[in-house]
Structure 1
Amino acid sequence: MRFETSREVPAAEGAVKVKKDDNNNYKVNLKIIRLSPSERLSPPKNTYVVWMDTDLNGTINIGNLGTSKGLFSKKLKSSLETVTPYQPVRFFITAENDKRVEYPGNQIVLRTRYYN
């Protein structure tokens, strides 16, 4: 699944791969390039939080997104890998002041389309 183009972070591009494992869990592998630091947004925020809409369990915070520069590249690279027992149907990223928020704020910077 690819993230849709965003007005908030227009240079950012990314995708999410989801694979069901032998234990009936879902392995999530998210990668994004050129995601500007959250403190450069308007209004500035402290972190990016990745959310997963699930088939039966609502919306879940699956972690915060760190950004780093490659050793030989100036591209900003962000990634998140996790495993969940819940079937994902969509992912989105919000800019937040606290990475432990329980509900997404209204500053959505990237999102995927729904899928089954």
Structure 2
Amino acid sequence: MKLIKPIATGLCFALLLSACTPKMSFTNSSVIPAATGTIAVKKDKNENYTLAVQVKNMAEAKNLTPAKDTYLVWMKQDDRSVKKLGQLSPSGKTLTASLKATAVAKPQVVFITAEDNVDVRYPAGQTILTTEK
């Protein structure tokens, strides 16, 4: 009986932590089938959302068909507007990349596109990974 209260408290604490840090996963890519990734979303003390994007097994953008220059990370917000979060540059043996970004609105969908240059204002290239089902 004495163990029930600490276990229940621990479970409640774990649920609270998981509610504060939802994790989104990218769906399988038809463009780069080996590519995988996750996004951790947290709300900070200023009521902003911090996003930590982690991907691996990304082919170099120049090796895509057609060849591209870079990968960009975007998010759709509640009002369906799209915001560019930043650039991914896969490197190393497992072609990993990460990005940390801050947004005022909660992300509804996060996606990665292959683009001709980093300065594009709206996604125009092929979608490589997305959290949308």
By the TM > 0.5 criterion, same fold? Answer: yes
Instruction: Indicate which of 67, 75, 98 corresponds to 2:94.
Output: 75
Give the aligned partner of residue 91 of structure 1.
110
How many angstroms apart in 2 are the aligned matches of 1:57 and 1:40?
31
- Unaligned segments of structure 1, at least 5 residues: none
Instruction: Indicate which of 119, 123, 126 corresponds to 1:100.
Output: 119
SS at match of 1:101: coil
How many angstroms apart in 2 are the aligned matches of 1:100 and 1:86?
22
TM superposition outliers: structure 1 runs of 4+ over 4 Å: none
How many angstroms apart in 1 are the aligned matches of 2:94 and 2:83?
29
Q: Which has the higher helix share?
A: 2
AA at the equivalent of 1:53: K
Structure showing greater relative contact order (alpha-carbon pairs closer than 8 Å, 6 or more residues apart): 1
Residue identity (%): 38
Note the C-alpha offset of 1:57.
6.2
Number of paired residues? 110
- Deviation sequence 1:46-84 (CA, Å, 0-9, x none): 000111001136001111111121xxxx21111110111
How many angstroms apart in 2 are the aligned matches of 1:109 and 1:65?
12
How many angstroms apart in 1 are the aligned matches of 2:121 and 2:28?
25
How many angstroms apart in 2 are the aligned matches of 1:39 and 1:33?
16
Give the aligned partner of residue 109 of structure 1.
128
Q: Which has the higher strand share?
A: 1
Matched, 1:34 2:57: yes
RMSD of aligned alpha carbons: 1.2
AA at the equivalent of 2:62: E
How many angstroms apart in 2 are the aligned matches of 1:106 and 1:76?
20
Give the aligned partner of residue 89 of structure 2.
66
How many angstroms apart in 1 are the aligned matches of 2:125 and 2:57?
22
